[in-house]
Amino acid sequence: MLDRLRDRGSRLLFGASARFYDWITWQRTWREHCASLADLFPSATPDGLRVLDLGIGPGVSAIGLKDRRPDIEILGVDRSGRMLRIAGRRTCEEGVSVALVCSDAVALPFVNECFDVVTQHSFLYLVSDRHAVIREVYRVLRPGGKWVMLEPNEGGCLRSVPFMEGELRFRFSMIAWLLWSRGFGRFGETELADLLELRGFEDVLVQETLSGLGLLASATKVGSAGKAVV
């Protein structure tokens, strides 16, 4: 019951604060950090890479990914209609083609093994049933596909914010992110790695980023023979 109430509260708050979230994240440094997730993507294939961006929010994550990898095809998912409307406007303004779907990540409306990459930026920590999301991501990833994410680090400290590079709005967004994430439960490096390995992901890598405020992680879905497909 408590988890359901927390999920509902999160959904309502993010919907109501969609314009504020758009304002606080629509800046160069945040966009560049979103783009950095693409550095962990697999190499391009003849058919291109099909990417699912979970919790696309106001669209800056997908736009950043396309900055770094214009060859990819992105489909963005969010459970907030307001966020998706803003994402549609932002991606249109930037000339970025992104398909948008309103859905909950615990029950994705996609067939099995249809994406090469799944990404998320500050998303999994908001979800009470994290195991359900991990199962869904594993299901929709193709064998050898990668999951790349950035989540808040439980060891993050406000004292590091004044020394971070980036505009004032970026540092303000980091303070807001740090304070907000305390109410939902951030991740430790070992905890996040264990969650991914428990579901069967391999080549799990978790490292600190954003001056210790965030964790950058990647993992690979094993192939049908039980080994990761390179």
List the CATH number of the domain containing 104.
Answer: 3.40.50.150
3-state secondary structure the chain: CHHHHHHHHHHHHHHHCHHHHHHHHCCHHHHHHHHHHHHHCCCCCCCCCEEEEECCCCCHHHHHHHHHCCCCEEEEEECCHHHHHHHHHHHHHCCCCEEEEECCCCCCCCCCCCEEEEEEECCHHHCCCHHHHHHHHHHHEEEEEEEEEEEEECCCCHHHHHHCCCCHHHHHHHHHHHHHHCCCCCECHHHHHHHHHHHCCEEEEEEEEHHHCEEEEEEECECCCCCECC
Q: Indicate whether 229 belongs to any domain.
A: no
Mean pLDDT, the chain, whole residue set: 90
pLDDT digits (tens, 9 = 90+) for 25-39: 999 999 999 999 999
Residue 227 lies in a domain: no
208 within a domain of the structure (yes/no): yes
Task: Tell me if 226 is assigned to some domain.
Answer: no
Distance, first Cα to last Cα, the chain: 42
**Residues constituting the chain:** 230
Do the domain assignments include residue 228? no
Q: What is the pLDDT of residues 111-160, one digit of tens each?
A: 999 999 999 999 999 998 999 999 999 999 999 999 999 999 999 999 99
Q: 189-199 vs 130-140: helix axis angle to the nearest 10? A: 50
* This prediction's pTM: 0.90
Whether residue 163 has pLDDT greater than 60? yes
155 touches 210 (CB < 8 A): no
Domain membership flag for residue 144: yes
Structurally, how many domains does the chain consist of? 1
Within a domain: residue 230?
A: no
Its domain, for residue 177, covers 2-220
What is the average per-residue pLDDT within 194-218?
95
Does 64 fall in a domain?
Answer: yes
